[in-house]
Amino acid sequence: MASGIIALLDDIGTLMDDVAAMSKVAGQKTAGILGDDLAVNAEKASGFVSTRELPVLWAITKGSLLNKAIILPIAFLLSAFLPSAVTVILIIGGFYLAYEGAEKIYEFFVPHAHQGERVSAIDISKEDQRVLEKKKVKSAIVTDFILSVEIIIIALGSVPEEPLQIQIPVVTAIALLATVGVYGIVALIVRMDDFGLHLINLNEETDSFSDKVGRFFVSALPKVVKSLSVIGTIALMLVSGGLFVHNLGFVHHWEELLPLPGIAFEFLVGLLFGFVVLFVVMGGQKLWTAIRR
């Protein structure tokens, strides 16, 4: 009996060692998209009233966990029984991410009606604030779903030859890291100014070390938030472009014809496909409006 328990514990220890080793490999392969995920979701989760930042972030986090709970079993089933569907899902996700990035760029350079309607959170009613919050949370969760699909598929692709008892804990660990790690860092970013104010009020002195550090955090937050929008848009283009390059043969052939670094080519591809989808969507909206009239 004792020898059987020892053998079982030995098998469990061996399995955990294999899971740890494969998780490290999967983590390295998904590190880039995890960084993109951080930039995109930090931009999505910022811009709220201070008292609503953490509740909104928690709502997005719960949505992200639900996304993983939906995606993980489907990913395992598709990988086992219909691997070609995985590629199709990746390409569809790439189109969505490219479209979202192109839309941001278009709205920045081309004046449109919604720009004139933007007001600060203090200028609108609480009811309108909640409506805007729900809209932004929904957008963040949808984007998180797409990025979660990419992360899980890439993690799954890093352990294709491993048995199911290795694949499940490895990919699940990466999925949880993508939520807990990413949104934990996002929470630190959006609360940077409150931390700075706490340091400033830590003592009665006006020029102490804590005051200097606190003022740095307070003054840095607006710059960080503004930069997140740019970084997030670039990340969307890079992720989508990478998906097209690695999953569409004719796009990969373009790379051989253009003497560009890989990252520049992926950004260019994401930009191209994004604006194609954007103009198709805009044309469809105009046509639908004309038909309804």
Q: Which of 60, 66, 41, 51 is nearest to 186 (CA)?
A: 41
Given a contact cutoff of 8 angstroms between Cβ atoms, the answer to whether 217 and 190 are in contact is no
Tokens of 76: 């395992």
For residue 141, what are the CA distances in angstroms to 13, 40, 61, 63, 147?
37, 11, 8, 6, 10
Which helix (H) or strand (E) element contains residue 145?
helix 126-157
Given a contact cutoff of 8 angstroms between Cβ atoms, the answer to whether 236 and 97 are in contact is yes
Given a contact cutoff of 8 angstroms between Cβ atoms, the answer to whether 218 and 200 are in contact is yes
Compute the distance between CA of residue 242 and CA of residue 168 in angstroms, rounded to an integer: 25
Instruction: Give 3-state DSSP helix, strand, coil % of the chain, rounded to 5.
Output: 90, 0, 10
What pLDDT does 40 receive? 65
What pLDDT does 117 receive? 44
Compute the distance between CA of residue 78 and CA of residue 73 in angstroms, rounded to an integer: 9
Per-residue pLDDT of the chain (293 residues; tens, 9 = 90+): 445 555 444 444 444 444 454 444 444 445 555 655 666 666 666 666 666 777 888 888 888 899 989 988 988 888 778 878 877 887 887 888 888 889 888 988 886 654 444 444 445 666 777 787 788 888 888 888 877 887 887 777 666 666 667 778 888 888 888 788 778 877 777 777 777 887 888 777 777 877 888 888 888 877 777 777 777 788 778 878 888 887 888 887 787 777 778 788 889 999 999 999 999 999 998 888 888 87
What pLDDT does 90 receive? 77
What pLDDT does 235 receive? 78
Given a contact cutoff of 8 angstroms between Cβ atoms, the answer to whether 193 and 223 are in contact is no
pTM, 2 dp:
0.68
Compute the distance between CA of residue 108 and CA of residue 230 in angstroms, rounded to an integer: 11
- What DSSP line would sit under 192-245, residue for residue? HHHHHHHHHTTSS-SSSHHHHHHHHHHHHHHHHHHHHHHHHHHHHHHHHHHHHH
CA 165 to the chain's CA centroid: 27
For residue 232, what are the CA distances in angstroms to 93, 97, 105, 272?
16, 11, 11, 17
What pLDDT does 39 receive? 65
Which residues are CB-neighbours of 155 under 8 A, at least 6 positions away? 26, 29, 30, 170, 171, 174, 175
- What DSSP line would sit under 181-200, residue for residue? HHHHHHHHHHTHHHHHHHHH
**Number of other CB atoms surrounding residue 97 within 10 Å:** 27
CA 60 to the chain's CA centroid: 11
What pLDDT does 276 receive? 94
What pLDDT does 14 receive? 47
Given a contact cutoff of 8 angstroms between Cβ atoms, the answer to whether 48 and 56 are in contact is yes
Tokens of 200: 């400033």
Compute the distance between CA of residue 174 and CA of residue 156 in angstroms, rounded to an integer: 10
